[in-house]
């Protein structure tokens, strides 16, 4: 078995743009659930809105990169409003149901063949990333073993993660963040103190959703393609896994959680494939190995919930239930 | 007496010793008050055919401490919910300081200065006691998203709020707990925290739903004094309480509810002699005065004859009216 290549591909996952995208989207979930108690089970929908918002405005309307970025974020904010207006006055579970459904609706809308010219239906869209890479300040060459494009997207993706983490940290230590945490605990108590709970929940939903939209773009740019199948319900649940791994009401938790998620997936894949190829394991095909690792992730998550329910970074005291 | 008391004295009236009559006429149920802060008319709320609240007319006197009493299920909590916008009545209108409140959302009611606590205590368990208190602070610019990022814009106000919270926490004997998570507090301490937090809003009217339930008896005396002192600071208090001793000790005015209706009103001494009140509470045992020790002894003697009565058990000497009422109701059912 080639341990060094297994290890180096795991380290590669640590800083891959996909991991950065997962970190951003999971940070959005932390804003929703960890800080505000909003159950968003449709973060994949927000990512899809961001990715398609950017790709469609670039390809169909030919707007420059930053206008496309703005459109993607605004579209996700509108998506949040549409979901939030009818549900945020109701109990928390309504939002959960509506977000699951809405994310699926988004996926079906971009898959339907009626709008193939705009959405590309099941094949998705491609070739919208030139505007982004044309801004690449790094000349061609090798950067830590990467070409300049790969290096650029990592710098931008992780730069975005750092900026968003700092912003969310600043927000959550402010009185505004305190009101959100109060709402998470008991929204009627917060109402009785004269705070407009509905407005706060809406703001949190929009901010977390915008992080999802940015994640969708970071996810999609290095691939050079958006496809509906990338934004299924399982994506949302992987994001929840990252959040639970790292710790819910923390800023670094979702980031570390996303890194752990991808490193563990990569390591198990590498080890299992190595074992199969060396003939040590004969009862498993490489395809089955790919599926087995998700089962292992599930088991790891269960063990985590039992032995460290607050996540790696979470504060145990914050879990003390009344 | 506090500084605030001096302020109010300077304006000519000391609310602590103000003895002018509270009612404008006779002390009848639904009577007009000389200076009402809340006026409610025909407020009704039913749950599946049962009229939980059916108040024809009620005024709450300003700068006074009013006790709202009545047996369990009388509709006191529901009335609180209706007045503060946490529930919507089937009909009726009500106003606070002359502003109609029908259809006004609960957070706006609180901002207008009408702040309530909950019978089932609501503290934010995963926030510290101090953070709970700060949440009550008003006009904190940092609570706006547009200013939250810049500590320079809200740090100053935060210091003021913290100072205000420290004073209240000390009064409520919670200062040693201020950095603990609220989830670690006992039931009584949570009641205290909730009350202190509601005072952070600096309300004009504070509505306390069973503030003493579960509070350590050693603390109740000083707490009663704090509630009394709220009057000196110009606040009006409306509270629900089952402990008649407490009602007698601090209330200027008592409103009695039974089966959703206001059945009696008046100063505590007078109300506790009122047969309608005793009726509402106890069904039988008419001819006693709950307001004085003689009457209570009489009642205890009478209850001792009843096998089901709690008097003579470990509760002896504590006249816990709601327990007795429940017992009596049970007794009636058995007959
Ligand atoms: N949400 C509700 N649904 C159905 N019935 C309720 C509800 N809230 C209160 N009630 C009923 O209304 C009546 C008054 O209750 P409540 O206001 O809690 O009484 P109190 O506070 O005086 O003990 C009771 O009969 C209670 O069962
Ligand atoms: Mg009640």
More confident residue, B334 or B221: B221
Q: Is residue B194 one of the residues assigned to a domain? A: no
- The answer, yes or no, to whether residue B7 has pLDDT greater than 70, is no
Q: Is residue B97 one of the residues assigned to a domain? A: yes
Instruction: Strands of B64-162 (E only): list them.
Output: 65-69, 91-96, 99-100, 114-116
More confident residue, B123 or B245: B123
- The answer, yes or no, to whether residue B283 has pLDDT greater than 60, is no
Residue B199: CA count within 13 A, CB half-sphere? 25
In this structure, the answer to whether residues B17 and B116 fall within a common structural domain is yes
In this structure, the answer to whether residues B214 and B227 fall within a common structural domain is yes
> Which 175-204 residues of chain B touch chain A by CB within 8 A?
181, 183-184, 194, 197-198, 200-201
> What percentage of chain A exceeds 90 in pLDDT?
71
Q: How confident is the model at residue A59 (pLDDT cuts 50, 70, 90)?
A: very high
Could you give the angle at which helices A65-87 and A92-111 cross, rounded to 10 degrees?
Answer: 140
Q: Which ligand is nearest to the CA of B81?
A: 1
Q: Which of B128, B145, B160, B207 to mutate to test the interface with A (most CBs of A within 10 A)?
A: B145
**B312-322 pLDDT per residue, tens:** 444 444 445 55
Length of chain A equals: 322
Give the span between the Cα atoms of B51 and B262, in whole angstroms.
13
Q: How confident is the model at residue A58 (pLDDT cuts 50, 70, 90)?
A: very high
Give the span between the Cα atoms of B161 and B147, in whole angstroms.
17
Lowest mean pLDDT among A209-223, A264-278, B39-53, B284-298: B284-298
Q: How far is CA A156 from the centre of its chain?
A: 16
In this structure, the answer to whether residues B79 and B152 fall within a common structural domain is no
Two structure tokens written together for A172: 């959550």
CB neighbour list of residue B202: distance below 8 Å, 6 or more residues apart: B113, B138
Instruction: Strands of B231-306 (E only): list them.
Output: 236-240, 253-258, 261-266
Q: Is residue B63 one of the residues assigned to a domain? A: yes
User: Searching chain B, which residue's CA lies closest to the CA of residue A315?
Assistant: B126
- Interface A–B counts its CB contacts (< 8 A) at 115
Two structure tokens written together for B15: 């609310």
Cβ-based contacts of B110 with chain A (< 8 Å): 191-194
pTM: 0.87
Q: Is residue B138 one of the residues assigned to a domain? A: yes
DSSP A174: S
Strand partners, B36: B61
In this structure, the answer to whether residues B239 and B324 fall within a common structural domain is yes
- The answer, yes or no, to whether residue B302 has pLDDT greater than 80, is no
Structural domain tally of chain B? 2
CB contact under 8 A, A181 and B131: yes
* Residues spanned by the domain of B160: 126-184
Please compute the mean of the pLDDT values over residues A281-291 and round it to a whole number: 83
Strands A225-226 and A125-126: antiparallel
In this structure, the answer to whether residues B19 and B106 fall within a common structural domain is yes
- Is residue A11 within 8 angstroms of chain B, CB to CB? no
Give the span between the Cα atoms of B197 and B208, in whole angstroms.
12
Q: Is residue B196 one of the residues assigned to a domain? A: no
Q: How confident is the model at residue A278 (pLDDT cuts 50, 70, 90)?
A: confident
Two structure tokens written together for A270: 């590498």
- Is residue B31 within 8 angstroms of chain A, CB to CB? no
Q: Which residues of B266-284 are buried (b: 16+ CB within 10 A; e: fewer)?
A: bbbeebbbbeebbebbbee
Q: Is residue B66 one of the residues assigned to a domain? A: yes
In this structure, the answer to whether residues B148 and B270 fall within a common structural domain is no
Two structure tokens written together for A224: 């050079």
In this structure, the answer to whether residues B68 and B37 fall within a common structural domain is yes
Residue B278: CA count within 13 A, CB half-sphere? 17
In this structure, the answer to whether residues B101 and B209 fall within a common structural domain is yes
In this structure, the answer to whether residues B114 and B247 fall within a common structural domain is yes
**B87-116 pLDDT per residue, tens:** 999 999 999 999 999 999 999 999 999 999
Mean model confidence pLDDT for chain B: 84
Give the span between the Cα atoms of B119 and A156, in whole angstroms.
52
Cβ-based contacts of A320 with chain B (< 8 Å): 125-126, 181, 183-184
Q: How confident is the model at residue B181 (pLDDT cuts 50, 70, 90)?
A: very high
CATH of the domain at B43: 3.40.50.300
- Is residue B135 within 8 angstroms of chain A, CB to CB? yes
Instruction: Strands of A73-207 (E only): list them.
Output: 125-126
ipTM of the modeled complex: 0.88
Residues with CB under 6 A from ligand 1: B 47, 50, 52, 70, 72-78
Please compute the mean of the pLDDT values over residues A146-167 and round it to a whole number: 96
Instruction: Return the pLDDT at B312.
Output: 40
Please compute the mean of the pLDDT values over residues B78-95 and round it to a whole number: 95
Instruction: Return the pLDDT at A49.
Output: 97
What three-state secondary structure class fits B71? coil
User: Searching chain A, which residue's CA lies closest to the CA of residue B152?
Assistant: A174
DSSP secondary structure string, A16-37?
-HHHHHHHHHHHHHIIIIIIT-
Instruction: Return the pLDDT at B14.
Output: 80
Q: Is residue B211 one of the residues assigned to a domain? A: yes
Strands B65-69 and B253-258: parallel
Q: Is residue B179 one of the residues assigned to a domain? A: yes
- From B78, B86, B260, the mutation candidate for ligand 1 (largest count of ligand atoms within 8 A of CB) is B78
Please compute the mean of the pLDDT values over residues A80-96 and round it to a whole number: 92
In this structure, the answer to whether residues B85 and B36 fall within a common structural domain is yes
CA distances from residue B90 to B58, B59, B93, B99 in whole angstroms, order as listed: 17, 20, 10, 20
At residue A319's C-alpha, the angle toward residues B179 and B160, to 5°, is 30
In this structure, the answer to whether residues B111 and B90 fall within a common structural domain is yes
**B36-71 pLDDT per residue, tens:** 999 999 999 999 888 999 999 999 999 999 999 999
CB neighbour list of residue B75: distance below 8 Å, 6 or more residues apart: B45, B52, B53, B54, B257, B259, B260
In this structure, the answer to whether residues B114 and B211 fall within a common structural domain is yes
Give me the residue from B137, B140, B149 closest to A171, CB to CB: B149
Give the span between the Cα atoms of A276 and A281, in whole angstroms.
5
Give the span between the Cα atoms of B303 and B327, in whole angstroms.
10
CA distances from residue B23 to A8, B245, B252 in whole angstroms, order as listed: 84, 23, 11
Could you give the angle at which helices A148-172 and A252-277 cross, rounded to 10 degrees?
Answer: 140
**A90-119 pLDDT per residue, tens:** 888 899 999 999 999 999 999 998 899 899
Of B184, B215, B232, which residue sits at a domain end?
B184
Q: Is B42 left (phi over 0), alpha (psi -120 to 50) or beta?
A: left
N-to-C CA span, chain B: 54
């Amino acid at each position: 078995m080639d341990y060094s290549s297994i290890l180096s591909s795991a380290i590669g996952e640590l800083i891959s743009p996909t991991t950065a995208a997962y970190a951003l989207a999971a940070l959005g979930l932390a804003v929703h659930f960890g800080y505000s108690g909003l159950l968003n089970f449709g973060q994949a929908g927000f990512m899809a809105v961001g990715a398609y918002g950017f790709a469609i405005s670039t390809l169909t309307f030919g707007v420059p990169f930053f206008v496309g970025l703005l459109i993607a974020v605004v579209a996700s904010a509108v998506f949040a409003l549409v979901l939030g207006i009818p549900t945020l006055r109701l109990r928390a579970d309504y939002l959960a149901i509506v977000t699951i459904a809405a994310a699926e609706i988004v996926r079906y809308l971009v898959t339907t063949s009626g709008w193939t010219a705009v959405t590309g239906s099941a094949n998705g869209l491609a070739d919208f990333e030139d505007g982004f890479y044309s801004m690449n300040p790094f000349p061609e060459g090798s950067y830590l073993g990467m070409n300049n494009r790969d290096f650029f997207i990592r710098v931008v993706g992780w730069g975005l993660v750092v900026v968003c983490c700092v912003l969310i940290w600043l927000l959550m230590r402010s009185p505004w963040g305190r009101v959100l945490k109060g709402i998470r605990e008991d929204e009627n108590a917060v109402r009785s103190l004269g705070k407009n709970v509905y407005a706060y929940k809406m703001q949190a939903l929009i901010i977390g959703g915008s992080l999802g939209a940015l994640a969708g773009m970071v996810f999609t740019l290095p691939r050079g393609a958006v496809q509906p199948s990338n934004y299924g319900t399982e994506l949302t649940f992987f994001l929840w896994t990252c959040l639970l791994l790292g710790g819910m009401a923390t800023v670094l938790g979702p980031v570390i959680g996303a890194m752990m998620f991808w490193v563990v997936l990569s390591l198990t894949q590498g080890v299992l494939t190595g074992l199969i190829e060396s003939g040590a394991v004969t009862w498993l095909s490489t395809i089955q190995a790919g599926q087995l690792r998700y089962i292992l992730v599930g088991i790891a998550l269960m063990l985590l919930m039992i032995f460290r329910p607050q996540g790696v970074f979470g504060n145990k005291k914050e879990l003390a239930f009344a | 007496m506090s500084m605030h008391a001096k302020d109010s004295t300077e304006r000519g009236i000391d609310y602590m010793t103000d003895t002018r009559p509270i009612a404008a006429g006779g002390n009848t149920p639904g009577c007009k008050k000389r200076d009402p802060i809340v006026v409610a008319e025909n407020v009704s709320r039913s749950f599946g055919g049962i009229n939980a609240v059916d108040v024809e007319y009620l005024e709450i006197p300003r700068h006074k401490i009013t006790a709202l009493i009545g047996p369990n299920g009388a509709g006191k909590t529901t009335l609180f919910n209706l007045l503060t916008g946490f529930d919507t009545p089937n009909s009726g209108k009500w106003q606070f300081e002359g502003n109609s409140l029908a259809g006004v959302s609960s957070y706006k009611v609180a901002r207008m200065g009408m702040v309530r606590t909950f019978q089932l205590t609501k503290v934010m368990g995963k926030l510290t006691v101090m953070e709970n208190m700060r949440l009550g602070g008003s006009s904190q610019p940092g609570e706006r998203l547009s200013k939250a990022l810049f500590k320079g814009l809200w740090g100053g106000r935060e210091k003021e709020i913290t100072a205000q919270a420290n004073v209240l926490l000390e009064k409520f004997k919670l200062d040693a707990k201020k950095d603990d998570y609220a989830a670690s507090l006992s039931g009584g301490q949570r009641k205290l925290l909730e009350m202190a937090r509601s005072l952070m809003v600096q309300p004009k009217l504070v509505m306390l739903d069973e503030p003493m339930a579960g509070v350590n008896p050693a603390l109740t005396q000083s707490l009663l004094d704090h509630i009394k002192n709220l009057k000196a600071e110009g606040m009006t208090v409306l509270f629900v309480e089952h402990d008649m001793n407490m009602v007698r000790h601090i209330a200027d005015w008592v409103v009695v509810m039974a089966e959703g209706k206001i059945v009696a009103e008046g100063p505590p001494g007078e109300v506790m002699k009122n047969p309608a009140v005793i009726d509402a509470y106890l069904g039988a045992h008419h001819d006693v005065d709950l307001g004085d020790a003689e009457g209570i002894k009489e009642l205890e003697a009478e209850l001792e004859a009843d096998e089901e009565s709690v008097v003579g058990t470990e509760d002896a000497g504590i006249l816990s009216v709601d327990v007795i009422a429940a017992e009596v109701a049970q007794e009636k059912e058995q007959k």
